């Protein structure tokens, strides 16, 4: 039995509001641009974007409730039997690009699909992940510890899925240090699945805010800023070439400003950039190798 769409929608909207309020608290003057846009069939888009802050260079916290006549190809590539079916989808998706290179970029997405005309076809998906520019073990362990508490027994499988998904095959490197990721999720039934999604959604701020608090005032130089912009290129490559959510947004006809709001504001690419052995930048590249961050964490 599917979870009531209105219940999921209300939770995602409440989560969007609480995340926006907490992120705004970092900024003395900047506030999220707020729009509420009705979409065909009774859907709703609530884009929330902030830019040019003292802590947050750019962040997007988006809610959408889509109602469509047929699922786009990106939503049926793993479930081809659902192609052409009417559907509803509710989702919250966010990205935070901080100004200080010592504060990691982060991403979260939670989504719920209900496919009309197919008995019992519904599923949740999503997760959250961390993309640091400089590796700080304290931050990474805290992130995974919070994720593990939220995911419970499912954490090992969700962590492995996150490491697998957020990988750039053309670079042969992970995008970040992972987190949790799940797709086509119905494990335990509707109530248990929705409760898991709520635990993961509610864990995002406790996972990320302490890291921001620790690093936002750390001094940095042009070197660190340059490295941050260079590494943001990997983020842009993943979103444009690999990410299923971006493809879904483009194929489903969503507002292009909202679909691409997750892209970083300033990015650089360098040809064959050398990373000095033993440098902090080299330490990041080593930290990107998937591992059990909670083993011997104390």
SS (H, E, C) the chain: CCCCHHHHHHHHHHHHHHHHHHHHCCCCCCCCEECCEEEHHHEEEECEEEECCCCEEEEEEEEEEEEECCCCHHHHCCCHHHCCCCEEEEEEEEEEEECCCCCCEEEEEEEEEEECCCCCCEEEEEEEEEECCCCCHHHHHHHHHHHHHHHHHHHHHHHHHHHHHCEECCCCEECCCEEEEEEEECCCCHHHHHHHHHHHHHHHHHHHHHHHHHHCCCCCCHHHHHHHHHHHHHHHHHHHHCCHHHHHHHHCCCCHHHHHHHCCCCCCCCCCCCCCCCCHHHHHHHHCCCCCCCCCCC
Catalytic residue among 97, 107, 144, 154: 107
- 119: confidence class by pLDDT, cuts 50, 70, 90: low
- What digits encode the pLDDT tens for the residues 182-228? 999 999 999 999 999 999 999 999 999 999 999 999 999 999 999 99
- Over residues 9-59, the pLDDT tens digits come to 999 999 999 999 999 999 999 999 999 998 877 899 999 999 999 999 999
Domains within the chain, CATH numbers bracketed: 5-287 (3.40.1500.10)
Using one digit for the tens of pLDDT, what is the confidence trace for 269-292?
Answer: 999 999 999 999 999 999 999 999
Look up 107 and say whether it is catalytic. yes
């Amino acid at each position: 039995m599917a979870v009531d769409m209105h219940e999921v929608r209300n939770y995602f909207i409440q989560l969007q509001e609480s995340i926006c309020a907490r992120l705004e608290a970092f900024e003395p003057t900047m506030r999220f641009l707020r729009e509420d846009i009705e979409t065909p069939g009774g859907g709703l888009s609530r884009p929330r974007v902030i830019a040019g802050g003292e802590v947050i260079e750019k962040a997007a916290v988006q809610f959408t409730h889509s109602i469509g006549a047929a699922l786009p190809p990106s939503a049926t590539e793993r479930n081809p039997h659902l192609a052409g079916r009417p559907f509803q989808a509710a989702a919250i998706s966010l990205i935070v690009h901080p100004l200080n290179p010592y504060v990691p970029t982060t991403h979260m997405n939670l989504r719920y699909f209900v496919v009309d005309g197919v008995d019992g076809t519904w599923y949740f998906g999503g997760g959250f992940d961390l993309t640091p520019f400089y590796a700080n073990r304290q931050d990474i362990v805290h992130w995974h510890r919070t994720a593990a508490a939220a995911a419970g027994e499912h954490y090992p499988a969700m962590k492995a899925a996150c490491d697998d998904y957020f990988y750039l095959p053309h670079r042969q490197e992970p995008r970040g240090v992972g987190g949790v990721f799940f797709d086509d999720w119905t494990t335990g039934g509707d109530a248990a699945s929705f409760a898991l999604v709520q635990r993961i959604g509610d864990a995002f701020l406790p996972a990320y805010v302490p890291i921001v608090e620790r690093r936002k005032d750390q001094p940095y130089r042009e070197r660190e800023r340059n490295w941050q912009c260079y590494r943001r290129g990997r983020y842009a490559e993943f979103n444009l070439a690999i990410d299923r959510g971006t493809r879904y947004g483009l194929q489903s006809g969503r507002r292009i400003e909202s679909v691409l709001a997750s892209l970083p504001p300033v990015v650089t690419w360098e040809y064959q950039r050398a990373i000095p052995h033993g440098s902090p930048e080299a330490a990041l590249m080593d930290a990107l190798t998937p591992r059990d961050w909670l083993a011997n964490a104390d």
